Amino acid sequence: MHSIDPFFQKGEGKERYEAYLTCFIREQYMKVLPYRTYAEVNLQQLKENTRKVRALLSKDTKLLAVLKADGYGHGAVRIAKAIEDMSDWFAVASFYEARELRDQGITTPILVFGFLDDSNIEEAAQKNITCSALSYSYALHIAELCEQKKLRLSMHIKLDTGFHRLGIACEEERITEAYKEVRTLYELPQLQITGIYTHFSTAGSKALQDEAFLARQYQLFCDMLHRLEEDHIDPGIRHCCNSKATLTNPEMHLDMVRVGLYLYGLGSDADIEYLKLEPIVNWKARIYAIRDVKQGEGIGYGRTFITPQPMRIAVVSLGFADGYSRCLYASDQVYVLVHGKRTRILGKICMDVMMVDITDIPDVRVNDTITVLGSEGTQRISANLLGRETGGTAVEVTCGMGKRVQRVYVHDEGNC
Ligand SMILES: *Cc1c(COP(=O)(O)O)cnc(C)c1O
């Protein structure tokens, strides 16, 4: 039984394989991929999801596609390029993510949700990156830096209407004070305030107190907008909805919605079904080795799994260091797909490999790929399942796909 990946043995380079990829149709290139584990991202499906989200919006409402955390793990640059024509804005969490998009030729407006270091302000202004006024003192500080460097920076003001994370605090008790701060920022010549936004903490919850809280947050936001209107200040782009609120509260869309999850086909099972979204990633790994093991043998660290009968196992080139959560081995709900059939993980997941049962799956060969997230044939493993079984959420699964998981992009009828 040979266990060494013949592609790695031959030392084939990534570039060579990318060249291969361009001339193979989907079924064929699956067989030649050299990666031990890879995430196949379907850009066609991404566009389809984006179209479906756009269909929820009136023609005057802009779409901001959220690309933080490397496009929720799918690869921000390729995602941005694929939906550039369908998105009015992009958003990321940090200056560096925004710069990466600009350096790759993305010219769409970009909003940074997070703080910027002083040392990045100049480049942000030059690269037309829009920043967030996340507190009054921070915005004044940025204005001072702009004054010193003779720059003008585009910003959106963030209001904290109850999430209590970031933004100018707008509780009822200090709303007059908060409004003064907001107005001052609009009037500062060093800052070009082109928008204003807030973020909901209970979007989509059906619990009465949560619905009331959302309504209260929206009310506070509208109160500020109303005051600006009375003072004849153009607020710029007004936005507050994430994916969930975009679906449940169309009356709150205002000028723009900020959608992440739905573009990637993520969200609650009910939302995905209702909107007819599809996940855009299949996470795969290759079989390194195949072993026949006698009855009564332990598999892996701690011998937590003892073979109840003679078994055939596949050693798969994917481990917890690739971001596949180690705790999933203990779940009786989680499975992997080998030749389109469900099968289970045996023993503890190691750093770089895991073992799976192929006793009842015929003709499995070394270098075959297995699927740990996404679909194969009629079977599907959802990010919601893996998220739930790790005690987290679907988006943690896609964001967690590690550095060694090569992103491979497919689009247009399966051509790569
Ligand atoms: C992440 C994020 C969003 C997108 O939320 P989804 O639930 O993924 O649609 C919107 N707004 C802000 C401020 C965010 O941080």
Q: Is-contact 323 349, C-beta < 8 A?
A: no
Q: Is the pLDDT score of 229 beyond 80?
A: yes
Residue boundaries of the structural domains of the chain? 42-263, 279-408
Q: Which atom of ligand 1 is nearest to the CA of 68?
A: 1
Q: Is the pLDDT score of 83 beyond 70?
A: yes
Mean pLDDT of 69-85: 97
Residue to mutate (ligand 1; options 66, 197, 201, 221; most atoms within 8 A of CB): 66
Q: Is 301 a catalytic residue?
A: yes
pLDDT tens per residue across span 334-368 = 999 999 999 999 999 999 999 999 999 999 999 99
| Cα-Cα end-to-end distance for the chain | 33
Strand duo 281-293 + 311-316: pairing = antiparallel
Q: Is the pLDDT score of 27 beyond 70?
A: no
**Averaged pLDDT of the chain:** 91
Q: Looking at domain 42-263, what is its CATH homologous superfamily?
A: Alanine racemase (3.20.20.10)
CA of 260 to the centre of ligand 1 (A): 6
Predicted local distance difference test score (pLDDT) of residue 362: 95
pLDDT tens per residue across span 287-344 = 999 999 999 999 999 999 999 999 999 999 999 999 999 999 999 999 999 999 999 9
Mean pLDDT of 165-179: 93
| Amino acid code (one letter) for 214 | L
Cβ neighbours of 8 (radius 10 Å): 13
Q: Is-contact 102 129, C-beta < 8 A?
A: yes
Residue to mutate (ligand 1; options 242, 280, 397; most atoms within 8 A of CB): 242
Predicted local distance difference test score (pLDDT) of residue 172: 86
- Into which CATH architecture does domain 279-408 fall? Beta Barrel (2.40)
The residue annotated as part of the active site, out of 31, 149, 276, 301, is 301
CA of 321 to the centre of ligand 1 (A): 27
CA of 380 to the centre of ligand 1 (A): 26
Could you tell me the pLDDT band of residue 19, with boundaries at 50, 70 and 90?
A: very low
pTM: 0.90
Q: Is-contact 134 166, C-beta < 8 A?
A: yes
| 165 annotated among ligand-binding-site residues | yes
Relative orientation angle of helices 76-83 and 43-54, to the nearest 10 degrees: 60
Could you tell me the pLDDT band of residue 20, with boundaries at 50, 70 and 90?
A: very low
Q: Whole-angstrom Cα distance, residue 178 to residue 190?
A: 20
Q: Which atom of ligand 1 is nearest to the CA of 72?
A: 8
Could you tell me the pLDDT band of residue 15, with boundaries at 50, 70 and 90?
A: low
Closest CA to 289 of 314, 266, 254: 314
Q: Which atom of ligand 1 is nearest to the CA of 243?
A: 9
Atom 15 (ligand 1) nearest CA:
113
Predicted local distance difference test score (pLDDT) of residue 7: 39
CA of 256 to the centre of ligand 1 (A): 13
The residue annotated as part of the active site, out of 47, 62, 68, 284, is 68
Atom 3 (ligand 1) nearest CA:
242
Mean pLDDT of 186-214: 94
Which protein residues touch ligand 1 with a CB less than 6 Å away? 66, 68, 113, 199, 242-244, 258-261
pLDDT tens per residue across span 251-271 = 999 999 999 999 999 999 999
Closest CA to 198 of 172, 228, 175, 168: 168
Q: Which atom of ligand 1 is nearest to the CA of 113?
A: 13
Could you tell me the pLDDT band of residue 413, with boundaries at 50, 70 and 90?
A: very low
Q: Is the pLDDT score of 21 beyond 50?
A: no
Percent of the chain scoring above 70 in pLDDT: 91
Residue to mutate (ligand 1; options 70, 248, 258; most atoms within 8 A of CB): 258
**Three-class SS string for the chain?**
CCCCCHHHHHCCCHHHHHHHHHCCEHHHHHHHCCCCEEEEEEHHHHHHHHHHHHCCCCCCCEEEEECHHHHHCCCHHHHHHHHHHHCCEEEECCHHHHHHHHHCCCCCCEEECCCCCHHHHHHHHHCCEEEEECCHHHHHHHHHHHHHHCCCEEEEEEEECCCCCCCEECCHHHHHHHHHHHHHHHHCCCEEEEEEEECCCCCCCCCHHHHHHHHHHHHHHHHHHHHHHHCCCCCCEEEEECHHHHHHCHHHCCCEEEECHHHHCCCCHHHHHHHCCCCCEEEEEEEEEEEEECCCCEECHHHCEECCCCEEEEEECCCHHHCCCHHHHHCCCCCEEECCEEECEECCCCCCCEEEECCCCCCCCCCCEEEEEEEECCEEECHHHHHHHCCCCHHHHHHCCCCCCEEEEEECCCEC
CA of 163 to the centre of ligand 1 (A): 13
